Structure 1
Amino acid sequence: MKVFITILALAIASASGAAVPSAVEKAVNLKDISGRITNGYPAYEGKAPYTVGLGFSGGWWCGGSIISNTWVLTAEHCTSSAESVTVYFGATWRTNAQYTHWVSRNDIINHGSADIALIRIPHVDFWHMVNKVELPSYNDRYNDYNGWWAVACGWGGTYDGSPLPDWLQCVDLQVISNNECAQTYGTGTVRDNIICVRTPDGKSTCNGDSGGPLVSHDGNKLIGVTNFGTSSCTSGAPAGFQRVTYHLDWIRDHTGISY
């Protein structure tokens, strides 16, 4: 018998109590939103200089990844109904960024049929606290990364129901096959554009981590964009990400970035 599990996107409304609009949920057909790095570890300053915080005008928080001097990659369920976003660069303490940029809706590109989005940012210079993460090359576009280890980082809650933490958290997770992931979520959710990780001992992405990076230990390449999990992030169920290799053409067509 198939076990049905409610899948939750991983954005979170701010403490102001503002509700996340239903349009934010449509890309993954969800009823609610949730998410956090659980049972991870505090990041040292400069560990993940490609990670940005995204504070949206509607009152919710997500993460993203710098992929060039002028582009950030994130999840569409974060951006789909946003009128604007403030990008926090080089923050280890969540709201104590090296600097911020405000971006209007005109500089947000939503995919439309997958839970991934681009944000065009003013040019930023790179240094040890603010830097890009490289995308996989076209030579890796058919690599499923099964068994690879990767690191996910974000400012999502650190336990079920927790507030957003102040300090950036990271967790090391192992990629699993889509067949294994589909045993939990079904093949209708786990398609070729999805990459999943195991979440042993309550270690997982889960509120506020949406859109954040999954970066391979080997080669330090961005292989996933945080998307979904279950209602309890410590349940041991897999966590799901958009598979970046699947979207290389789309990213190149909008940004010119390719390797």
Structure 2
Amino acid sequence: MKVVVLFFLAGALALPADLDEAEFKAMSVDPTFNKLPPDLSSRITNGVEASPHSIPYQAYLIVSGSNKSWLCGGSLISPKHILTAGHCVDGGISATVYLGSHNLHETESTRVIVQSRHLIRHENYNKSDISNDIGVIELETEVELNENIKVISLPSRDVTEDYVGANVKLSGWGRVAGDQATSAVLLEVNSTVISNTQCRQVYSIVIDSMLCISGTGGVGSCKGDSGGPLVYDNVQIGVVSYGATGCAVGYPSGFSRVTSFLDWIEEKTGLSL
């Protein structure tokens, strides 16, 4: 078994910077693919700069634990709730949430910074197989919605499609490559959802409550993008969960499938979905 190292990126209320390394997980995948292990962190590689504020539901998170902080992504699903990955809030005590941002290196009049009231991780989140990798952050105060800060829609309960073949958008401020710095500006990539059967040939941990996008073209998620949104037709269908160690080019990126967690999200937020 190989040890996977998760790089945490953190800061106070200013810019994130590399803080530390922590052993986070050990796992392996099918030997057909040289036992390349998945990694719990996930990236925007080979992305392009998003048009400023064109993804108004995107959240930037600095999560603080007892003795470290780390960077994740998220999405605004109500004026008082952020959807993110379970591993992003695992071990967290509080979170600072940035909304309305584009360039983290600049002072932006559109930016709103709000603190968390509660961090909620799925009760059955499992580090060993990355199952139930979903979490919610309840904000201390409701944010005022505007042109730069909007709520993303979630799928309706009657959705039965698996999204295979769908052209989807992934966004975040994570590393642009496994050995490079995080992006100052919000990046986005378009990719295609592949079948779980195909993805399971690469990552043996894939189950029905996950979905994957193709790594074709070298695009995908990287360290710092975890918890961010995967969107199809203006609806969030996935939450960034895992990818290949070192953000290896050409491998699929894995997501928690939002349709599998609608009951849980409704229970924890009180929203009517």
Per the shorter chain, which TM-score range? Answer: 0.7 to 0.9
User: In structure 1, the residue corresponding to 2:158 is in which secondary structure?
Assistant: helix
The percent of aligned pairs where both chains have the same amino acid is 36
- Work out the CA distance in 1 between the residues paired with 2:5 and 2:97: 20
Q: TM-score, normalised by structure 1?
A: 0.87
Q: How many residues align?
A: 245
Structure 1 residues 8, 156: closer, same or farther in 2, change over 3 A? farther
Q: Secondary structure in 2 aligned to 1:253? A: helix
Residue equivalent to 1:43: 50
Alignment partner, residue 183 of structure 2: 165
Partner SS for 1:185? coil
Q: CA deviation at 1:45?
A: 1.3
Say whether 1:205 aligns with 2:218. no
Question: Equivalent residue for 1:111?
Answer: 122
Distance 2:190 2:248 in 1: 15
Q: Any stretches of 5+ residues in structure 1 without a counterpart?
A: none
* Counterparts of residues 238-249 of structure 1 (less than 5 Å): 238-249=252-263
Offset at 1:36? 1.6
In structure 2, the residue matched to 1:79 is 89
Q: Kindly state the Cα deviation for residue 150 of structure 1 after the two structures are TM-superposed.
A: 0.8
Mapped pair 1:101 → 2:114: yes
Aligned counterpart for 2:236 among listed residues 222, 238, 242: 222
Considering fraction of residues, name the structure with more helix: 1
TM-score of the pair, normalised by structure 2? 0.82
Quote the Cα distance in structure 1 between the aligned partners of 2:200 and 2:225: 22
Report Cα offsets for 1:79-138 as digits up to 9, x if no partner: 11011110001110136461101225xx11110221100000120111111011000001
Alpha-carbon distance in 1 for matches of 2:78, 2:119: 15
Determine whether 1:190 maps to 2:212: no
One of 160, 163, 175 as aligned partner of 2:193: 175
More strand by share: 2
Give the Cα separation in 2 of the matches to 1:61 and 1:192: 27
Find 2:245's aligned residue among 225, 231, 237. Answer: 231
> Does 2:142 correspond to 1:123?
yes
What is the alpha-carbon root mean square deviation over aligned residues?
2.5
